[in-house]
Amino acid sequence: MSLDGTSEPHSPAAPRAEGRKAAITMALTAVIWVALSLWIAAFYNQYREAQLRGQASALAVTSAGALSNALNQRLAQVRGLAAFVAVKAAENHPGEIEREFPVFAASYYQQVPGIRNISVAPDFVVRQVYPLDAGNLKVLGHHLLEDKRPGFIEAVDRAIQTRGLVVHEPLEMIQGALGLLARHAVFVGDRPWGAVGMIFTISTMLESSTIGILEGYTWGLRTAAGSVVGGDAAIFAMHPVSVRIDLPDGYWEFALAPAAGWKEAAAKGAEVTALRFGLLIIGIGILCLTWVMLQRRESLERLVESRTRQLTSANRELERFSFIVAHDLQEPLRSIVSFSQLVERGLSTQLTQEQREWLSSLGTAARLMRALLHDVQIYLGENNAPLPRRQTDAGEALATARRKLSGRIHQTGAVIEAGPLPMVWADHHRLSEVFVALIGNAMEYRSPERPPVIHISNRTERGFEFIEIADNGIGIEEAYFERIFEVFQRLHSRTAHPGTGMGLAIAKKMVEHLGGTIRVRSTVGQGSVFSIILPSAPAWTANARLEPM
């Protein structure tokens, strides 16, 4: 107010300054809010995509399991047919095969849908096929080892080499259409008698496993070589979740992803709409929603942690149960061996040569089972074996191994050359057993063209001791470098190379328990080099386990 009581006019600059400040504040608030909204939206989309991937993974595992069951059901039929033919062929009853095959095949044909044909090929020439329709008649007389279709002869050769079951890449059938062919080699003794096979219609097999009923998702199935078996081939470029389906001589890959893509699928749904609406209405609601989501995420993590603990406990219980079973089953096996020997001695004058061979086979099988159970015990018990408290001399462990293998070394004429070996963080017994497994493996798979020479050397690299066992044996193909360390995995028949198939798996597990590993490099026809890699310091005293590079 002025001194005479009249009002003083406002300065026009004052409201303009306040307006600019409010606009700037509003603009800054809007920018901050938009940036915060975009960040929250991006965060939530990532969360949704991870959630969708988890759901898709569970669905993929279920679908792949259904397909694996459908496939294994059919492969079991092929193995059954091979066993039937092998028995008849061993008894030298080709007439019985020809007479009983139609009835045997008809029973299989009715069990599962989608069997295109069932065939028997003595000398690898198809002589019998079921059913005898117009299309299958074209197969009669077909020579399996002269088929020019890509990969056909190679698959038959694999069946012969492995003396087992192989699954061809999907191929165009002689009858027409795309089919899945499973082939099983049949041997009589060490002589290949021929093969049996079944062709399955791929579309029928997929329908029977209900893979096609995946609403909102697209899927694809391809072989290890990349051949598409079913579904959409474009799925493999969509960053899908994948599940491996193991086959007798390879694997298939089952892939699953949302039909619209991960980002589009993550952007749909009532939750996303509610989030967007809330972002437009009020920031507090968004902050509350974010807090809820974070709490939910923490809850999920706690649930996963709880489930992990439960699963670990269950695995330990299962491992303990397996160990006890493996131990307790050895007693009845000892009884089987003892009683079979008593029967053979007590009835020696009454038994025919064939009956003696039966008893001998029974004893051999029981002894093999005992050896398998013993190795299973060692494999399972390794997790709970105490770790060494001091270093041991690798040279002394090698000397112990050589004493254990002295008979075998003399029998094979093997020459073992060893340089100075270091002190390593391992216990004497465990390391000597590793040497026994690797040196024994070198002598078992020696070359028939030359006496075995085994050279053992050592080098130190990046805090690890590399003890290398090099041989001049038959070598190993690179594709099998990982497989030879798996339990019960064999690259040759038990007849050619006896054993339980667990020696290398046990050796690797022992070394890994000590903080190291075993690796192999090899050249087929020239030999192999197995490297025992052990840490120079005790790896189990550190917070993290040392990993050799």
**For residue 70, which amino acid is it?**
A
Q: How far apart are CA 316 and CA 527, in angstroms?
A: 39
Mean pLDDT of 432-457: 88
Neighbours of 48 (CB within 10 A): 21
- Give one DSSP letter per residue of 413-429, joined into a string: T-EEEE----EESS-HH
Q: What are the Cα distances from residue 33, in Å, to 36, 41, 241, 279, 292?
A: 5, 12, 35, 9, 19
Residue length of the chain: 549
- With H, G, I as helix, E, B as strand and everything else as coil, classify residue 21: helix
Which residue did the predictor score with more confidence, 523 or 41?
523
Is the separation of the CB atoms in 74 and 205 below 8 Å?
A: yes
| pLDDT band, residue 22 (cuts 50/70/90) | very low
Write the burial class of residue 138 (CB in 10 Å: 0-12 exposed, 13-18 middle, 19+ buried).
middle
Residue 13's pLDDT band, with cuts at 50, 70 and 90, is low
* Nearest Cα residue to 484 out of 469, 504, 468, 500: 504
With 50 as the cut, is the pLDDT of residue 396 above it? Answer: yes
Distance CA 256, CA 221 (A): 9
Indicate if the pLDDT at residue 146 is higher than 70. Answer: yes
Beta bridge partners of 188: 191
How buried is 145 (Cβ within 10 angstroms: 0-12 exposed, 13-18 middle, 19+ buried)?
Answer: middle
Mean pLDDT, rounded, for 99-121: 87
Contact 436, 404 (CB under 8 A): yes
539/101: higher pLDDT: 101
- Identify the CA nearest to 144 among candidates 192, 108, 188, 111: 192
- 3-class DSSP state of 38: helix
pLDDT at 457 (0 to 100):
93
Q: How far is CA 39 from CA 32, 258, 424, 460, in A?
A: 10, 24, 53, 50
β-pair partners for 196: 120, 184
Instruction: Give the mean pLDDT of 232-243.
Output: 87
Please report the pLDDT score of residue 453 as a whole number.
92
User: Is the pLDDT score of 542 beyond 50?
Assistant: no
Banded model confidence at residue 455, pLDDT cuts 50, 70, 90: very high
Give the pairing of strands 165-167 and 178-188. Answer: antiparallel
Bigger pLDDT: 344 or 357?
357
Using an 8 Å Cβ cutoff, are 460 and 466 in contact? yes
| pLDDT mean over 302-327 | 64
Quickly tell me which residue has 């064999």 as its tokens.
490
At 370, the pLDDT band (50, 70, 90 cuts) reads low
Q: pLDDT class for 176, splitting at 50, 70, 90? A: low
Contact of 398 with 421, CB cutoff 8 Å:
yes
- pLDDT of 125-145, one tens digit each? 999 999 888 778 888 888 989
